Amino acid sequence: MKPELHITLVQAELQWQQPEANRQHLEALFAAAGTTDLIVLPETFSTGFPGKGYSVAESPGGESSAWLKEMADKYQAVMTGSLVIKQENKFYNRLLWVEPGGETRHYDKRHLFAYAGEDQHFTAGSERRVWSWQGWRVCPQVCYDLRFPVWCRNRDDYDLLVFVANWPAPRKDAWSTLLRARAMENQCYVIGVNRVGICGNGNEYPGLSGIFDPLGRPVAEAGAEEGIIRGAIELAQVGEVRGQFPFQQDADRFRLLD
C-alpha cells in the first residue's frame, strides 16, 4: 500500500498518425520525471485523435502496448493512456493501464464524440471500470466521458479519477471547469491529461493538464506548453474530506440502464 502517490503527467505535442515518432518523443519527455508511481499520457497518444482510425489501429498487444510494458518495467511505474485498437473487426478508443511486471487492464471509451464522427467508426465501451492498485481505487475515463457525471459518479468505490484527453481549445473552459467539478462532487482526486499543438485535422489543443484534490483545488497545473507536470496525492486526504463533509450519504441512488 502507498499512502502517497507521485504522479507524472505528460502533456505532449503529438505527431499526426506517427506511432513510432510519438513513442520516442514521449519517452524523451518523461525520462526527466525522476522517481514516480504513475505516468499518464494523453488520449490516443501514439497517433493523435484519429477520426476514422482505420489506418492507425493496432491489435491488442501491438507495438504501442508492448512499449507501455517496456516503459512500466523501466521506470517501475504504472503507464496509462489510450490507443486506437482493432479487435474482432471493431475499433475501440482503449485506455490501457500497465503495471510494472506486465499486468495490463483496459477501459474502452464509453462516450464516443459524435460531434466529430467518432461514433460512426468506433464501438463504445459498456463497462465502467474501477481498479485496485497500491491501496488506491482508481476509475479510468477517456476525454468526452468528462461531460457525463452519471457515468463517472462515485459510488463509494474509488479514490482517484483519471481522464486522458485530446480536448480542443474552443472548449478549454469546459475542460478546466469540469475537472474541478468532478473532483468536488465525487470527493476524490482527479487527474486530467490533455495534449498540445495542432493535429492533422487542424484542431488546436490547449494543454491545461492538472491534478486536483477532493475539494477541487489544484495540486499541480500546466499551461499551454509541452512538458511534464509532477505532483503528489495523499490517500488520507480523501478520507478526511469525506469524513468532514459527508455529502455522499445524501446522494441519490440509481443504476444505469442501456
Q: Which tens digit of pLDDT belongs to each residue from 133-169? A: 999 999 999 999 999 999 999 999 999 999 999 999 9
Q: Exactly one of 69, 99, 118, 143 is catalytic; which is it?
A: 143
Q: List the grid coordinates of 33.
A: 520525471
Q: Exactly one of 13, 43, 99, 118 is catalytic; which is it?
A: 43
Strand residue runs (E) in 75-177 = 78-87, 90-98, 104-108, 131-133, 136-142, 160-164
Q: How confident is the model at residue 227 (pLDDT cuts 50, 70, 90)?
A: very high
Q: What is the pLDDT of residue 253?
A: 83
Cβ count within 10 A of residue 176: 19
Identify whether 43 is a catalytic site residue: yes
- Reported as a single tens digit per residue, the pLDDT across 86-109 is 999 999 999 999 999 989 999 999
Q: What is the pLDDT of residue 209?
A: 98
Q: Exactly one of 13, 58, 69, 109 is catalytic; which is it?
A: 109
Secondary structure of residue 25 in the 3-state scheme: helix
Q: List the grid coordinates of 203.
A: 484542431
| Greatest alpha-carbon span in the chain | 51
The answer, yes or no, to whether residue 54 has pLDDT greater than 80, is: no
pTM of the predicted structure, to 2 decimals: 0.96
C-beta separation of 53 from 236 below 8 A: no
4-248 CATH: 3.60.110.10
The answer, yes or no, to whether residue 52 has pLDDT greater than 70, is: no
Q: How is the chain split into domains, by residue range?
A: 4-248
Q: What is the pLDDT of residue 258?
A: 64
- Looking from the CA of 119 toward its CB, the CA atoms found within 13 Å total 7
